[in-house]
Chains A and B, each alone.
Chain A
Amino acid sequence: MTRLRRALLVSSTACWLAVVLVAGLQQRLCPLFPPAFWRKAAHVFPSLAFGYVMFDRIPTTLVYRRISLNGRAVEPAELDHNGSLGYANSRFQLNVLFDPEYPSEVCRYSDRDFLIERVERQLSQHTERVTQRLSCRHKQLEVAR
C-alpha cells in the first residue's frame, strides 16, 4: 500500500510539473508545429488548447453581424448548443474566429435551417474586408458572397 501510495505521489508530481511547464511554454512551442498537430494534441491534453492566455492572437475582426432563424434574429447560444454554460455566445465567436470551418460543424449538428451574415472587418480601421452569407439548409452549409 505504501509503495502504491508513493508511486501515485511521484507520478502525480511528475504530471503536475509537466502540465505546468508545457502550459507555460505552449505559446512558445506553438509556432514550431502545424495547427493540425495542436488540434489533435488538445484532444489528448486539454491544457494545451490555450495554455495560460486566451488572447495571444488578439481578435481584431468581427465575425458575424446577424444570425437569423426563420427570419428572426437570434443569438448564437440559441443556435449553437455548444454546451458552454454562461458563455455560449463568447464560445461561438471564438470558435468561428479561430476555426473558419466551425459554422459548417454547427450546421451539421443543427436540426433547423439558419442564416449567418458573416462579416470580417478590422474594427480598428472600420474597413470591411469580407462579407458572406452562410446559409444552412438540411445540414448543408452554402456560402454566398
Chain B
Amino acid sequence: MKKWASPHAVFLLRLTQPGVQHLRELRAFEMIFFAGLAVHFLPYIWNQDRFLGHLPTHQVLDVGAWLPATVPNPVLLTLGYLGCLVGILGPSVRVGALLALVAFQSLMSRNSNAIHTLAISQAWNILLLFMVGGGSQWLGRKHPTADVTRGSWTRTLIVYSTILGVFLSALEKLKSGWIEARPMTTLLSFPENHVLRNWAVHSLGHYARGLGFVLTFATLMFELFAPLALTLTASGRALPVLWVCFFAAIGLTFEVPTLFLATYAGASLLFCAGSQHGRGEDELAR
C-alpha cells in the first residue's frame, strides 16, 4: 500500500527534481527575464538628461548613489547590458546577474524615479537568486544531459518568491480596504490616456460599475488562492495557464511595464514543472 504524501511535499519534490525538461524551462525563463530587464532599462540609453541627474529637481538626487560620479553612466549601461546579454545567451547566468544587478542598481540610485516599479522588487529577488544558485548554464555545456541537477534550487526559490509576492500583495490589498473601495471600478472609469489602455476605455468603460465589482473581487480571489492552489493541489497545467492568462489580461487592459509581465507571467514556465504529474508522487510514496 502506498503511503500518503502531503500535496505540498509533492509540489516541492517535483520542482527540485532534476531533469532536462526542467533545465529547458529554466533556460526559457532566463531568456524572457533578462530580455524584460533589458527592455525596462532601454530609456537610459537615449534619455540620459532626464534620468541621470544632471539637473537638480525638488527631490534629492545624489543622496544614496551607490557609486561615485567618477564612474560614468555609459560604463554602467555597458556593464548592465553585457549582464543581460550573458543572461540571455546563458554561458554564465550567475555572472550576468551580478553585472546586471550592480550596474542597474547603481544607475537607479542616481535619478530614476520614472523607472521604479513594483516589478523591480521581484526582479532584484530573481537576480540575487541567480547569483546564489546559478542558472541553467545551458549553452556552456556540450552535453546538456550530463548535469541535470543544476539550477533546480534556483528554479524552486524563484517559484516560491513569485508565489509569495502575489500572496503578499493580496494581503496588502485586503488590509487597505480593497473590497470596500472597489478600485477596479475607479480604474475602469478613467478616461483615455490614464492607466487603462485606450481600447479598454472604449470597450469596458461603459460597464465600469458591474465589471469593476467583479474584477475587484476576482483579482483578490486569484491572488489569495492561486498561490495556495499551486502548492497544495495537483492541478496539472491548468493553474499555470490560468496564471499566464491573469497577467496577460492585466498587460492587455492596463499600461504596465514589460518587466512586470516578464517576471510574474514568465515564472509560470517554472510552475509547470511543479504541477506536472511525474515521478514525485511515486518517490514520496515509496
Contacts and interface: CB of A to CB of B under 8 A. Distances in A.
The answer to whether A and B interact is yes
Interface of A: 8-9, 12-13, 15-16, 19-20, 23-24, 27, 39-44, 46-47, 49-60, 62, 65, 67, 75-77, 81-91, 93-95, 101, 104-105, 108-109, 123-124
B165 A84 contact: no
Given A46-B120, A47-B121, A62-B191, A85 B164 contact: no
Given A44-B64, A93-B194, A19 B173 contact: no
A83 B192 contact: no
Lowest 6 A-B CB distances belong to which pairs? A83-B43, A90-B255, A44-B64, A47-B121, A16-B128, A87-B255
A62 B195 CA distance: 11
Contacts of A51: 118, 121, 172
B114 A123 contact: no
B55 A86 contact: no
A47 B111 CA distance: 15
Contacts, number: 182
A109 B50 CA distance: 7
A4 to B, nearest CB: 12
Contact of B194 (A43, A81, A85, A89): A89
A93 B195 contact: yes
Contacts of B64: 40-41, 43-44
A43 B165 CA distance: 21
B121 A86 contact: no
B21 interface: no
B45 to A, nearest CB: 10
Contact of B183 (A58, A95, A109): A58
Contacts of B50: 81-83, 109
Contact of B116 (A20, A50, A88, A105): A50
B168 A83 contact: no
B186 A60 contact: yes
A39 B117 CA distance: 13
A20 to B, nearest CB: 6
Contacts of B59: 39
Interface stretch (B174-182, B230-238, B266-274): B174-182
Contacts of B185: 124
A20 B163 CA distance: 12
B255 A43 contact: no
A55 B168 contact: no
Contacts of B121: 19, 23, 46-47, 50-52
B189 A123 contact: yes
Nearest to A25: B168
Given A54-B117, A77-B193, A89-B194, 11 more contacts: A24-B168, A42-B113, A46-B121, A50-B116, A52-B118, A58-B181, A75-B193, A82-B114, A86-B257, A90-B255, A123-B186
A89 B255 contact: yes
B190 to A, nearest CB: 7
Contacts of B255: 86-91
Contacts of B111: 43
Interface string B21-59: 000000000000000000110111001011100010111
B186 A91 contact: no
B66 A52 contact: no
27 contacts: A8-B98, A9-B131, A12-B131, A20-B125, A23-B165, A42-B113, A43-B110, A43-B111, A46-B105, A49-B116, A49-B118, A52-B169, A53-B118, A53-B169, A55-B173, A55-B176, A55-B183, A56-B172, A56-B176, A67-B193, A83-B44, A93-B194, A94-B195, A105-B58, A108-B55, A109-B55, A123-B189
